[in-house]
Amino acid sequence: MRAALKTLIVLALGTAALLWFVNLDGAVDIRAGAWAITLNLPVALAALLVVVAVLLIFVLLYGALTRLPRRMRTRQAERDRAEGEHAVTRVLVSLAAGRGDVARGEVGRARRLLGDTPQLLLLTAEAARLDGDERGARAAFEALAEREECRFLGLRGLLRQAVADEDWDRARSLAAELAKTEPQAAWVREERAQLALRTENWREALELAGKGGPRAQLAFAAARQEADPEAALKLEQEAVRADVGFAPAALSLAQRLRKAGHPKRARALLAESYGKSPNPEVAAALLEPVADAAARLRLVEDFTRSAVRHPESRLIRARACLDAGQADRARQELLAAMADGSADRRHVALLAEADPDNAARWHAEAATAADAPGWRCAHCGATYAEWHPRCASCGTVGEIHWSAAARGGAEVQAAA
């Protein structure tokens, strides 16, 4: 009802306006030189309206025609983007499904549609790797590495390839580049640390090792690689600071101190090392400058005080007692180790010497006694005659420790 009323009002107003327009009184003269025309006002206004309308239509048509190619290009680009995104999805699905060949086809299509974006270069490399084409992957990683904003991604891929190829020189230079690109990245640090361990670059491995790393072992391994004696000394000092109980470093540093005319400092260092981790080689180094049996026994009593009940201490004291003519005390020491179950083959064998009346019994028991402590890989159990930074059996670094034999356990004997 209201709509009908509105229409009626509009029609009435329109008719009134038209009547008013047609009945307008007046004329328009148009003169050009001798030529002249006179139009009455409604006709002139109608003609003007027609001219304006024609001009307007022409302008609109012209605009639409000039915008047409750009609009077509935009539509094509939108279609390409949509198709390209579908192709990217198919690449991701193919990669997840382990279909390298399909992924490569789709990624080629996506690159044609979307161009060489960093994401597509990365997917190209991953697809090529999955398809076994390392050369293609390398080309894509190199293209990534050339772009400032995604240099890290390219270098990272190239480093992974170099490590897989065991091309250590290239891997090292790529890792150095990566460290420059992203100095704070934890991944770079971890990768460089792994690389240093694999290439036995112990100094770098030490620099990159965290606080929980085998610092004493790495520092001592680096000292052994060092040609400059001053630098080697500093590294050994670092090793001893990290773990004074690590016997190889303590022994080597003590030897340097003795050579440099500091026997007391050498003795103090060895005694501290023994107290932390009783080791027969450290004890032997402490006793080396002393020849007299009574003086040796006094020295032994002194440095074993910090680990008085340790089986190594009991063995060393028993030996010193025997040498000083105190067989009874020697026997007590060894029997105490037997009683608490910490004795090994060496204790039983020495007991045969300290207790000659029962020598046959002790010799028989020595055959079944536990093995002496030694250098053992905590990771795989391989044993070594001397310490090494890396286990030749399992490849682990910093896991060879001085330790007692696992009683009753099978042992792996690795080539030293």
Task: For Zn ion, give the closer residue by CB, 250 or 391.
Answer: 391
Would you state the structure tokens that stand for residue 14, as one six-digit string?
């329109």
Looking up tokens 């790495």 gives 218
Choose, by CB under 5 A, the member of 335, 380, 404, 405 that binds Zn ion: 380
CB of 328 to Zn ion, least distance (A): 43
Task: For Zn ion, give the closer residue by CB, 165 or 411.
Answer: 411
**What CA dihedral angle connects 221, 223, 227 and 230, to 10 degrees?**
180
Task: For Zn ion, give the closer residue by CB, 275 or 381.
Answer: 381
Choose, by CB under 5 A, the member of 208, 218, 247, 377 that binds Zn ion: 377
Task: For Zn ion, give the closer residue by CB, 336 or 394.
Answer: 394
Task: For Zn ion, give the closer residue by CB, 338 or 380.
Answer: 380
Q: Which of 375, 411, 404, 406 is nearest to 315 (CA)?
A: 404
Task: For Zn ion, give the closer residue by CB, 268 or 380.
Answer: 380
Task: For Zn ion, give the closer residue by CB, 299 or 391.
Answer: 391
Would you state the structure tokens that stand for residue 323, as one six-digit string?
């040498």
Question: Can you list the pairs that 156-165 forms with residues at least 24 positions away whose Cβ atoms lie under 8 Å?
Answer: 156/187, 157/122, 157/125, 159/191, 161/134, 161/137, 163/191, 163/195
**By the rule CB under 5 A, 197 interacts with Zn ion:** no
Q: Which of the ranges 34-42, 45-53, 95-103, 383-391 carries the binding residues for Zn ion, by CB under 5 A?
A: 383-391
Q: How many C-beta atoms surround the C-beta of residue 359 within 10 A?
A: 13
CB of 229 to Zn ion, least distance (A): 31
Query: Which DSSP symbol is given to 8?
Result: H
Choose, by CB under 5 A, the member of 253, 285, 391, 397 that binds Zn ion: 391
Choose, by CB under 5 A, the member of 394, 401, 404, 405 that binds Zn ion: 394
Choose, by CB under 5 A, the member of 139, 379, 401, 403 that binds Zn ion: 379
Choose, by CB under 5 A, the member of 393, 397, 398, 402 that binds Zn ion: 393
CA-to-CA dists, residue 107 to 112, 124, 161, 175, angstroms: 9, 6, 21, 28
How many residues make up the chain in this entry? 416
Query: Which DSSP symbol is given to 180?
Result: H
Q: Which of the ranges 19-27, 138-146, 176-184, 377-385 carries the binding residues for Zn ion, by CB under 5 A?
A: 377-385
Residues with Cβ within 8 Å of residue 286, at least 6 apart in sequence:
267, 270, 271, 274, 299, 303
Q: Which of the ranges 88-96, 247-255, 316-324, 385-393 carries the binding residues for Zn ion, by CB under 5 A?
A: 385-393
Residues forming contacts to Zn ion in the complex (CB under 5 A) are 377, 379-380, 382, 391, 393-394
